[in-house]
Amino acid sequence: MSRRPRSILPTVLSRRQALLACAGWFGLALIPHQQSWAVRSTVSNASSASASTGKASPLSAQAIKQLNQAVPGGVAVVPLGFAKEAPRATFKGSDVLVLAHQNKWYALVGLSLNTLPGAYQLSFVDQEPEKTDLALEHKPNIQSVLKQMQAEAGQLSALGAFEVRDKTYPAQHITLKNKRQVNPNPDDLARIRQESALQNEAYATFSNADPSNVLFDPPVKGRLSSPFGLKRFFNGEPRNPHSGLDFAVPKGTPVQTPASGRIILVGNYFFNGNTVFVDHGSGLISMFCHLSSIDRKLGDYVSRYDVIGKVGSTGRSTGPHLHWNVSLNNARVDPAIFLASK
């Protein structure tokens, strides 16, 4: 988006406003103030989340290293430099989780399984301009202004740029006795469409709160029976890839939430059976399904390790197990990436 300046001669403008005005006149894209300010790396003025909010950031050096797995179904940890406040960044139209570590900001970007390998760039939302004004007595040197704007744009792009590597997931073949769970009838399909809309809305939730933690303990202790990303075939017919982790544990095993949050969806669904969605904050969502019972209600706040239900075999299931999804900026990602004990 470009903007035509009203006038640059008689008006008292800030340096930033003057630069933006000239850029708009020549049809250049506006550079968001906070991010370009961050490019200048003014460490002395930068503040961490712990300084501005009074609580420690959940991001650590270990978490940055562990979570940065930029593959389809993975997470990209993208450095955003220094800034007084968290930059607001988006990816594919969704806000992304931004956290501080040692006075630097990082975007944690969820990458869906259909993300193609290659180079990507975050988008930034413009923030408030600088307050300090500077009287301009003469016309700015247009060439120097354009050079500076291009340099800042290049540095900003470098901050939000990241590369996605390829990854191949294995196949899994499952036999179901209930044929309707492979090829639902028209009534089932109508129900599935309604339920999918509800769940997709829950996955798209973005609340303005940081997660209590980004390295998780497993919600149950038990054998991992199906990993994330499997290319699934039910009765020989291809279906959507496996979007979570399956734990083979006995019916009735308590399910603990791996981080604090709020219950944003509870229901019994055709494929998932008894299901609970927990919003951990800033687009980080957990979904637990096939439960035998649900111990919490919609709107409840839960702390880390609280029990939200018990393992079962409801919905499309071949036996008692817990299916756990993790979604980040509305992209289903591998929960194993977040497991601190792995």
CA distances from 134 to 17, 18, 118 (A): 10, 9, 43
Query: Three-state SS for 288?
Result: strand
- Domain spans of the chain, in order of start: 15-164, 171-338
CATH superfamily of the 15-164 domain:
Peptidoglycan hydrolase domains (2.60.40.1590)
- Reported as a single tens digit per residue, the pLDDT across 45-102 is 333 444 344 568 899 999 999 999 999 999 999 999 988 889 999 999 999 999 999 9
Identify the pLDDT of residue 317.
86
* Coil/strand/helix, residue 270: coil
CA distance 210 to 105: 13
Residue 167 tokens, joined: 């990854």
**Six-digit token pair at 283?**
């687009």
User: If DSSP codes are grouped into helix, strand and coil, which group holds residue 203?
Assistant: helix
Tokens, residue 289: 């399904």
> Cβ(24)–Cβ(4) under 8 Å?
yes
Return the structure tokens found at 233: 């075939």
| CATH class assigned to 171-338 | mainly beta
pTM above 0.85, yes or no: no
Supply the DSSP symbol for 80: E
Lowest mean pLDDT among 42-56, 121-135, 140-154: 42-56
Report pLDDT digits (tens) over 161-190.
999 999 988 776 667 667 666 677 899 999
